[in-house]
Structure 1
Amino acid sequence: MAKCSVYTFLFILLFTGINSSAQSYQKTDLGVKISIKGRELEMQVYSPSIIRVIKSPARSSLNKESLTVIKKPGKTTFSVQQQGDVLYLKTNQLNVNLNMNSGAIIYYSHSGDQLLKEKEEGVMFTPFNDAGNQTYKVSQAFQLDHDESIYGLGQQQGGKMVQRNLSLNMVQGNTDDYIPFFQSVKGYGIYWDNYSPTQFVDNKETTSFTSEVGESIDYYFMYGGNADGVIACMRDLSGQAPMFPLWTYGFWQSKERYKSQDELVDVIKQYRKLKVPIDGIIQDWQYWGNNYLWNAMEFLNADFPNPQKMVNDVHNLNAHMIISIWNSFGPHTKQYRELDKINALFNFTTWPQSGSEKWPPNRDYPSGVRVYDPYNPEARNIYWNYLSKMHSLGLDGWWMDSSEPDHLDFKPSDLDNKTYLGSFRKVRNAFPLMTVGGVYTHQRRVDSSKRVFILTRSAFAGQQRYGANTWSGDVTASWKALRNQISAGLNFSLTGIPYWNSDIGGFFLSRYPRKLEDPEYRELYVRWLQFGTFCPMMRSHGADAPREIYQFGQKGSKYYDAIEKFIHLRYRLLPYIYSASWEVTANQSSMMRALMMDFAKDKQALDINDQFMFGRSLLVSPVTEAMYIKPGTGGQGSMQEEDFSSVKSKETYLPAGTDWYDFWTGEKLSGGNKVSKQTPLDMIPLYVKAGSIIPVGPEVQFAEEKKWDDLEIRVYPGANGEFVLYEDEKDNYNYEKGVYATITFHWDDKKKTLIIGDRAGAFPGMLASRKFNIVIINTDKGVGENTASESDKVITYTGKKVAFKF
C-alpha cells in the first residue's frame, strides 16, 4: 500500500511537473496550445498569412462565435518546432516565435524581417462583474518600431493620417466609427476581436488594446505584404464587398428634410429642367408623422398621401429614391409593441427626447422612443417584416440613421441592458454590424433582382459584406471639418470597408448664421462638393439650409457653374468608377486610397492627410481653406465679402517613383516634388499617374441614359499601364454567377502600342460592336473634363484583340 502510494505520488508529481512546465505544448490540427504562467494560449493557423491568437485564464472554457469573422480556418500546412525556450511555428508566409517562459509572441515575414512583437508582460486579465456575469477586463500590449506608421482604427474627426501617439476611447458615436483594427506600413494588420468599449493607446512605450469585457484575449495577425494585401486578408476573414448598382455612383441630393412628397419630386423635376445630372434622392425622417410614431415605417404624415405615386414619379423621372429608417421605435408603433413582447427593447435615453418636434426638447413630454435589440434574430425578423412593406413600394435602398445608436444622457448602468447575446456592454460596438446585417440578409433572401444599397451612419469590422456605404455623421460645416473628412475616410477605408462618404457641405451650419448668404460658406460648399466628386458616393445633404444647385444661383454664376462642372465630371468618370468598384469586389481593392497604399516606400507620402488616390490613377488634392473672401467693407464687425480679384493656388506633393500629368492641362510633371496649381473656384489640383488608362463616358443626365458605345480612352504615357473595363447588367446579382464582361487595355510604353484584349465574358444587352476614341495625352491635349476635339485614333471594337502603334 505504502509502496503503491509512493509510486502514485511520484507519478502525480511527474505529470503535474510536465503539465505546468513552460516547455510542454500540444500540437493541434489548427496550431498549438500551451499553458504559460497559469494562462492558456492557443495559436490557430487560419491561412498561411493569418494567425489567430487566443489567451485566457487557466481552466476557463471558451465557446466564442465571432460576430465579425466568418472565415473558418482552412487546412494549412505548417510546422512546429521547439528549440530551448522558444517555440517556432512556420507557414510559407510567416514565422511565429513564442517565448515559452513569458508567453510573448514575435511575428516575422517568411524572409526573416521582424514585423511585430508582443510586449513582455503585456497581457492583463482583471476580474470584472458584467451585469452579474463574472468575466474579465482584458488587455494586450505590442511593441512597434519607433518610426513605424500605422493606419485604420475606423473613422475619427481628429485630422490625423498616421495613427500614432494617441489614445482613443472606442465607443461608437455619431461622427466617430471605431473599428479595432490597424495596419502597418510594414505590411501587416491586427484585428482585435472584441465588441465592448475599448481603449486604444499608442505611445513611445507601448501600443495596446484594453476592452471592458472579454472571456479571453482574441486577436488576428495578418500579413499581406502591403496595404492591399492586408485588406485582402481582412476581407478573407470577415467577408467580401458586394457590388452596388451603377446608379449609386451618380449624384445624390437630400436635405433635412423634404416635408411633402410633392416637394421631393419637384427637386428631381428641377434638376431635369436645368439639365443637371442626378440619380438619387433621399427622404429623411418624419414621413411617419409625430415622434410617438417614430420610425413606424409607414407614410402616416398627411403630406405624403400617396407614397406609391411618389416612388413611381421619381422612377419615371429616371431617378432613384431611398428612405430614412432608424434603429428605434416610438411607443405607438406596431414594431414597438411586438418587440416589447419579446423583451427586445433597450432602456436608455435615445433620440428624439420629446414627443414634440419643437426645439429644444420638452422633457415634460418624453417621446418614449426605445432602441431595439438587433442581436436578437427574432427582433431582426420583426424589423424586416415591417420594412418589407416599404420594399414592396419599389424603394431603391435604405438610409439607416442612428445605427451606432444614439445614446443620450449616458449612464454606465445603461450598458447593463440585456441583449440576446449578453449585456449591451459586451457587444456595444457591434451594434451597426448587426442592424445593417439584418436588413441586408433579409433583402437578399427575397430579392436578387435589385442589389441591396444601404447608407448608414456607423460601421463595425466586417460590415463591408452587407452592401453598406457609411457616411461620416452630422459634422458641423467648417474648413477644418472638410479637411478632417479626408483622413477620416482614408483611415476608415484602410480597415477593409471600402465605401464611405460625407454630407457635402457639412450637416450643421451653426458657424454660418447667414447660411447660403455667407460667401465663405458658398465657397466651402463648392470645395466640399469637389472633394465629394472623388468619394465612393457623391451626396449633397444638410440641415439649416437647402443645398440643391439652384440654391446657389443660376447658370452663369460662379458657384452654380462650379457645382455643375463637377457633377458633370463625376458622370464622365462613371466607366472608370464602376470598373474600380469591380476591382473592390473581385480583387479586394479600395476606391479611396491613402498615398501609403501605392507609395509605401516614399516616406514623404506616408503622413499626408489632404491628398489621396481615387482608384489607382487619379491623385486628388482638395482645397481645404478659404481663398476668395475678404473682410467686409462696411466697417468693423461687418460680414465677410467674396473677393475674386486674384487667383490663388494650392501646393500638392506628387509621390516619387512615377511621373504625373496635370488632369486639366496635360502637363507632365516629375514625382517626388511639390507643385503649385492655381485653384480658381471651379478647379482643384488633380493629377494622373503616368501609365494610366482612363475610360471617359458620355455626357448624361443619369447614369444609364446612354450606352457606353463611344467611350473615350485616355492613355497617359511614361510607363506601362493596364486597365480593365468592367460591364454588367448594372443592378442585379447575376454578376455573382459570372454574368459580366471585361475588356483589358494594355499600354506598352516602350513600343508606344495600345493592346485591347479579347473581351472576356458576356451578359444580356452587351454591346456587340462599339467605338473607342483613343487619346494619347500630352501637353497639347489637356482635355480635362471635356471630350477631346480630335481623337488620335477611332477604333471599332467587336470583342476581338486589336493592337495599335502610336
Structure 2
Amino acid sequence: MCKLHLTILCSLLFTVLQAIGQSADRATYQKTDHGVKISFAGLPTSVDQDIYLDAIRDDIVRVTALPINVPFPTRESLIVVDSLHRLIHSLSVETERDTLYLRTASLVVATCLRTGQIVFKDKNGQTILGERKRESNSFRPESYNGDSFYALEQGFEIEENEGLYGLGQHQNAVMNYNNGRRVTLLQYNTEIGMPFLLSSKNYGLLWHNYAITTAGDIRPLHPLNAFKLTSKEGLDGWLTATYAHRDHPDSVWLSRPESIIDYSYLTDQHKLPNDITLAKAKVLYEGQITSPYTGLHRLHFKYSGYMKVWIDGELQEDRWRESWNAGTFEIAKEMKSGEPHDIRIEWLPDGGESYFTLNWQSPLPEELKHTFSFASEAGDAIDYYFIHGKHMDEVISGYRALSGKAPIMPLWSFGFWQSRERYKTQQEIEEVAQEFRKRRIPIDNIVQDWSYWAEHDWGSHDFDKTRFPDPDGMIQDLHDKNMRIMISVWPKINEESSVYQDFNDRGWLYPRNIYDGRKDWIGKGYTSTFYDPFQQEARQGFWDLMNEKLYKKGVDAWWMDASEPDVHSNISLAERKAVFQPALGSSVRYYNTFPLMNAKGIYEGQRQTDPNNRVFILTRSYFAGQQRYSAAAWSGDIASRWHDMKDQIAAGINFSMSGTPYWTMDAGGFLVEKRFHKPQAQDLEEWREMNTRWYQYGAFLPMFRAHGQFPFREPFNIAGEDHQGYKSMVYYINLRYKLLAYNYSLAAKTFFDDYTMIRGLAMDFPQDRETYALNDQYLWGPALLVNPVTEKGAIQRSVYLPKDADWYDLYQGTSFKGGQTIQADAPYERIPVFVRSGSILPIGKELQYTGEHPQHELTLYVYDGADASFELYEDEGDNYNYEKGQYGTIAFTYEQANGTLTIGERVGKFAGMLKNRVFHVVLVSDQNQVGIDSPQGNRKTVRYRGKATSIVLK
C-alpha cells in the first residue's frame, strides 16, 4: 500500500465503486483543537470507526481508532507524562479528493476517507510508514473480571530493507525484527516487554497499551502435530519419545508416542510420565517432521534442563536452564512442502519440575512479508504515537518527550558493583569489602541480595539479628570504606511476616495467592503475595516501610527484584492474571505495568523524603516510561553459559533502543551448572575463562556488576592473583574507572540530549546495511566499538568495521579501514575494542572508587581521520542540583584539516568544581599508532584554567 500515493489509491477505489454502482460516500470529519476526528459509518470500504489524529509536536502525532460512537478514552496514561508540552509551529487540515491531509511543519498525515488507512509522510511528501487497513478483527469485544475492553490488532506496511529495533529485552539473539519474527511483549524473568519500535527510517511507534501484546508476525503458533509426524519406527502421527536412565541409556523405562509437546507450566506436569524420576531421566524424541508449506519455518522451544536439537543430523542448539526458570530459543529452518526432515531432541530434565514445549510458526504468506503488526489482549482503542526525526537519536528524544527523561544516575553507580547470591551474614559482606580494599581492586558498590531477613519475615525489611547483628554498623563500615550498598527489596510479603496484617487490613495486598494457599520455596514454604503499587496509599506505605527499616540506616540503592510481579515463575498466565488484580482495573488490561508503578513509588518516596539525594533503582522488569524513575534494568536470572552471554548482547542493545538507556546483566551469569560447583580441572578453567570474558563485556555497560549463584563471583574467588583471568578482570575494573569521565559525560548527554549509551551500529551507520542485523557488536557511546568474546577457547573473533570511518585498536592504536570484516585478535586477557576515527576519548588516572579524588588530570586521545568533538560534563555527582543548572562543561573540538584541537571555555559552575586542571593530548593516527596500553610517545600538555585554548597536533 505505501508504495503508491494514498490519493491515487483512494481515487482508484472511488472509480471502482462508481463502476459497480456502489455508494461513493466518504467519511466525515471535524477539526479538533490539535487535529481532526474522522468518522466512518456504513461505508462498504471501511469498518465503522472513529479515527482521531492529534498533533503533539511537529514530529509527533497520536493516532486513536475505535468503534464508531464509542467515547474517546479518558483514562490517565501511565506511560505519557503529565507535563507533556505541545510544540506545534504550524497545523492545517485539508482534503483533496478522497484523502484528508493533516500537516505540521515536519509531517504530512494522509488518511484515505474511504478505507481509514493512514500514511505518514515527511514534509517533502516522501512516504515513511503506512497502515494496513483495519478489518472487523481490529476491535474484538472482550471482558475480564468485570472490565470490558477490546482485543486489538493493527498492522503496518514496512520496507524490505529497513531495520526494526526496540521492543524491550528478549533472549533470542535477534537484532533486527524486520524478518518475520514473532515477539511477545510481557513481563517474565529474563524477558521485558516494551511497546516501542524504532526504525532505521527514523521513525518510532509507541504502542500505547499496557496488556500482553504480540508484535511482528502475530499469527498464532502451531502445535507440533500441525507437522506431519513420523515416528522413528516409520509410523505416521507421532514422534517416538524414549524415557531412559541417563546414566544407563540402554535401560529404557518407557517408550511412547507423543504428537504434542506441551509441558509449559506446573499445571502441565501431570502429562509427563508419573512413574519416572525425571531428574534421572534422559528423554529422546526421534522421528521426522514434514511441513505442508514451503519457506522459512521457526521452531519455538521452551525448556528447562539440558536440551540438544538435531535436524537432518546437524546439531542446531545445545542449551541448559535450571528447572525452575525455563528458557526459550528458536530454530529457523527452510523446508519444502512434503519434504521430511529427521529430528532428534535430547532432553535431560533438571529437577522435579520439568518444562518443555515445542510449537512452530509457518512461513510468512506473501501478503504479510512486508507487514509488522501489534495485537494486544486488552485496550479501549487502537492507540499509538508516531514519532519522526532526522535520525534515530531524535526519534528516541521524541519518545522521552512523551514518556519522561532519564535522570543522571549517581556518579558512584558508574563504578564497579560486587554482588553474589548471597552474602548470608554481616561477617561475609564485611570480609569481602575488606578484601577488595586490601587487594586494591577498585569498587564503589556492594550488594546485599535477598534473605537477609528472618526466614518467615519476608516483606518486613528487618535484618535477621542472628546473622546481621548490627546492620547500622555494617552500613557505616561500608561507607567508611567509601562503598555504597544496594539492597534487595521484593514487592512480596509472607503471610507470617510481621507487616502482613497491617498491609492486608488496609487492602494493599493481592489476596488470591493467600486463598489459593500457594507456597514459596523458602524453608518449610510460606504462603505469600504481592502488594498493589497501583494504589497511591499502598505505594506510600511500602516506601514508608523501606524508609524506616532501610533508608534511615543509610542504604544507598534499591534492587527491586521479581518486579514482573513474579508470584511464581511457572504458574500459567491465567493463574498469574487471577492473582494479580490491581486496584486500577483488571490484570488483563494492566498486565505489563506493575514494574512501572513499583518504581514510581520508590522514586517518588525517596525524592519526597530526601529531595536532593539521587535515586538508583535496579529492577528485573521494566515498562515504557520507567526511565523517568531513575530505573536501570538487568536481564534477570540468565544462565552461566556461553550462549546466554551472547544472547545478552542483542537483548541489551534492543532494550536500549527501546528508549530506555540504563541496562546491565549479571556479569558471570546467574544460574550455574552443577559441574562448576566442585569442578574438575577443565571445568574450573572454563569457569574462569567464561567469567573473565563476561567481566570484559560488563565493563562497557551503564552498570558494571558481577553477580550469580555459587561459586562466588568476586575476582579473587574466581582465580588466584597470578592467573591470567584474575589479571584481566582487575584490568577491566581499572579500565572502567579510567573511563569514568567518558562514561559520566555519556550519562549527562543521556539526560540533556536524550542520548543512548548502548548503541546498535545502525544508529550511527544507518547507510551501512551490513550493520542492521549484527547481534554481537555494539557502540559504547560515540567512540568505542565493543566486540565481546562469547566462545570458549576463542583467541580471535570476526569483527565488522562499519563503513565511512577508520578504526583504531583501543589498546595499541593499530588502524584499520572501515567497510570490512576482520579476524580481530582476542587473547584471553582482552576483547577487541576499536575506536572510531573522529573521536576524542578522555582517559583518567586509576581510582579505587569514583570519589577518591577529582579528575584533575586527563589524557585526551584524539583519533585522526575525521573531525571530532566531545563535551566533558561534571557536577557534584550525588544530588539533583544539575536540574537547577549547577554543572560544568568543557567542549573539545578537533579539526582534521589543520590538526588543531580546541579546548573551549568552561561553561557553568557547581560546588567543588575544579578551577585548574591538566590535559595531556595524544593524536592517534596512521603515523602515530598508539593506544591506552602502549607508550604515549609524542604528547602535548595543556594546563587549563577555564579559558579557551587551541593546540596544533600535526
Instruction: Please give the TM-score of this superposition, normalised by the length of structure 2.
Output: 0.78
CA distance in 2, matches of 1:80, 1:703: 55
CA distance in 1, matches of 2:517, 2:123: 55
Structure 1 residue 59 displacement after superposition = 2.2
**Mapped partners of 1:759, 1:57: distance in 2:** 57
State the AA in 2 paired with 1:543.
Answer: Q
Aligned match for 2:209, one of 194, 213, 217: 194
Q: Is the contact between residue 666 and residue 780 of structure 1 (CA under 8 Å) also seen in structure 2?
A: no
The AA in structure 2 aligned to 1:269 is Q
Question: 1:115 maps to what in 2?
Answer: 128
Partner of 1:13: none
SS in 2 for 1:550: helix
Asked whether the equivalents of residues 509 and 515 of structure 1 are also in contact (C-alpha less than 8 Å), the reply is: no
Quick one: distance in 1 between partners of 2:776 and 2:520? 42
**Overall identity of the aligned pairs, in %:** 39
Q: Which residue of 1 aligns with 2:472?
A: 308
Spell out, residue by residue over 1:102-133, the C-alpha distance to the aligned partner (whole angstroms, 9 max, x if none): 11100011122211111023561111122123
Alpha-carbon distance in structure 1 between the residues aligned to 2:214 and 2:868: 44
Is the 2:930–2:937 contact (alpha carbons within 8 Å) kept by the matching residues of 1? no
SS at match of 1:745: strand
In structure 2, what is the Cα distance between the partners aligned to 1:788 and 1:573? 18
Select the residue among 382, 388, 397 that pairs with 2:547.
388
Q: How many residues align?
A: 761
**1:101 corresponds to:** 114
Do the aligned partners of 1:773 and 1:795 also contact (CA within 8 Å) in 2? yes
CA distance in 1 between counterparts of 2:205 and 2:892 reads: 36
Residue matched to 1:373:
532
Match of 1:415 in 2: 577
Match of 1:442 among 598, 605, 615: 605
Q: Distance in 2 between matches of 1:588 and 1:705?
A: 29
Unaligned runs of 5+ in 2: 1-23, 42-47, 218-363
- Tell me which residue corresponds to 1:177: 192
Conserved 8 A contact 1:663-1:782: no
1: CA distance, partners of 2:143 / 2:865? 63
- 8 Å CA contact 1:213–1:426 kept in 2: the answer is yes
Equivalent position of 1:54 in the other structure: 64
Separation (CA, whole Å) in 2 of partners of 1:197 and 1:515: 42
Q: CA deviation at 1:553?
A: 2.5
Q: Deviations over 1:35-59 (max 9, x none)?
A: 1143211010000011101111222
The letter for the 2-side match of 1:672 is: G
Question: Which of 69, 92, 105 is 1:92 aligned to?
Answer: 105
User: What residue identity is the alignment partner of 2:615?
Assistant: V
User: Aligned partner of 2:744: which letter?
Assistant: Y
Gaps of 5+ in 1: 1-19, 359-364, 629-647
Mapping for residues 698-709 of structure 1, pairs under 5 Å: 698-709=845-856
Provide the secondary structure at the position in 2 that maps to 1:422: coil
| Contact preservation (8 Å) 1:712, 1:787 | no
Structure 2 distance, partners of 1:752, 1:348, is 69
CA–CA separation in structure 2 for the residues paired with 1:780 and 1:514: 51
Q: Deviations over 1:10-64 (max 9, x none)?
A: xxxxxxxxxx953421011110001114321101000001110111122222212
Alpha-carbon distance between aligned partners in 1 of 2:851 and 2:417, rounded to the nearest angstrom = 15
What CA deviation, in whole Å up to 9, does each residue of 1:243-284 have, x standing for no partner?
A: 111111111100001011111011111011111111100001
Q: Distance in 2 between matches of 1:352 and 1:649?
A: 54
3-state SS in 2 of match to 1:518: helix
* Corresponding residue number in structure 1 for 2:408: 243
Residue pairs, 1:522-533, within 5 angstroms: 522-533=688-699
Letter in 2 for 1:280: N
SS in 1 for 2:132: strand
1:711 aligned counterpart, secondary structure: strand
Shift of residue 347, structure 1, vs aligned partner: 4.1
Matches within 5 A, 1:672-711: 672-711=819-858
Residue 17 (structure 1) aligns with? none
Contact 2:27/2:113, CA 8 A, preserved across alignment: yes
Which moves more between the two structures, 292-301 or 668-677?
292-301
Aligned amino acid, residue 394 of structure 1: G
Moved more, 329-338 or 171-180: 329-338
Give me the whole-angstrom Cα distance separating, in 2, the residues matched to 1:411 and 1:733: 41
Question: Contact between 2:159 and 2:370, CA under 8 Å: does it hold in 1?
Answer: no
Residue 620 in structure 1 maps to residue 783 in structure 2: no
SS at match of 2:654: helix
Is 704-713 or 479-488 further displaced after alignment? 704-713
Q: 1:230 aligns with which of 378, 381, 395?
A: 395
Query: Where do residues 547-626 of structure 1 align in structure 2 (5 Å cutoff)?
Result: 547-626=713-792
Q: Does 1:499 align with 2:509?
A: no
CA distance in 2, matches of 1:690, 1:405: 45
Q: 1:418 to 1:741 in 2, by over 3 A?
A: same
Residue deviations 1:645-673 (CA, integer Å, cap 9, x gap): xxx31121100011111111211211101
Partners in 2 of 1:568 and 1:341 — Cα distance? Answer: 51
Partner of 2:255: none
Q: Report what 1:482 is aligned to.
A: 645
Q: Does 1:431 align with 2:446?
A: no
Query: Partners in 1 of 2:575 and 2:520 — Cα distance?
Result: 25
Distance 1:396 1:232, change over 3 A: same
1:167·1:199 contact (CA, 8 Å) conserved in 2?
yes
Deviations 1:182-240 (A, max 9, x none): 11110001011111111213351532111111111111111013210110010000000
Compared CA separation, residues 515 and 152, structure 1 to 2 (3 A) = farther
Segment of structure 1 superposing worse, 599-608 or 66-75 = 66-75
* Contact 1:44–1:53, Cα closer than 8 Å, also in 2: yes
SS of 1:419 mapped into structure 2: coil
Post-superposition Cα deviations, 1:327-373, rounded to whole Å, max 9, x if no partner, equal: 11111334422321233322455999646635xxxxxx541110111
Task: Report SS of the residue matched to 2:466.
Answer: coil
Which sits farther off after the overlay, 134-143 or 522-531? 134-143
Q: Check conservation: 1:294, 1:333, Cα contact below 8 A.
A: yes
Which is further off, 209-218 or 575-584? Answer: 209-218
Aligned to 2:317: none
Residue of structure 2 equivalent to 1:74: 86
Contact kept, 8 Å, 1:594 with 1:613, in 2: the verdict is yes
TM-score relative to the length of structure 1: 0.92
Equivalent residue number for residue 883 of structure 2 = 736
Q: Is the 8 A contact 1:698 1:706 kept in 2?
A: no
Structure 1 residue 751 and structure 2 residue 763: aligned?
A: no
Whole-angstrom CA distance in 2 between matches of 1:613 and 1:490: 9
Aligned to 2:345: none
How big is the shift at 1:785? 4.0
Q: In the alignment, does 2:152 pair up with 1:138? A: yes
Cα–Cα, structure 1 residues 244 and 515, in superposed 2: closer, same or farther, change >3 Å?
A: farther
2:457 aligned partner: 293
The letter of the residue matching 1:574 is L
Contact 2:491 2:560 in 1 (8 A): yes
The root-mean-square deviation of aligned C-alpha atoms, in Å, is: 1.9
**1:645 alignment counterpart:** none
Separation (CA, whole Å) in 2 of partners of 1:206 and 1:248: 41
Q: Contact (CA 8 Å) 1:773, 1:791: kept in 2 or not? A: no
Residues 442 and 678 of structure 1: CA distance in aligned 2, closer, same or farther (over 3 Å): same
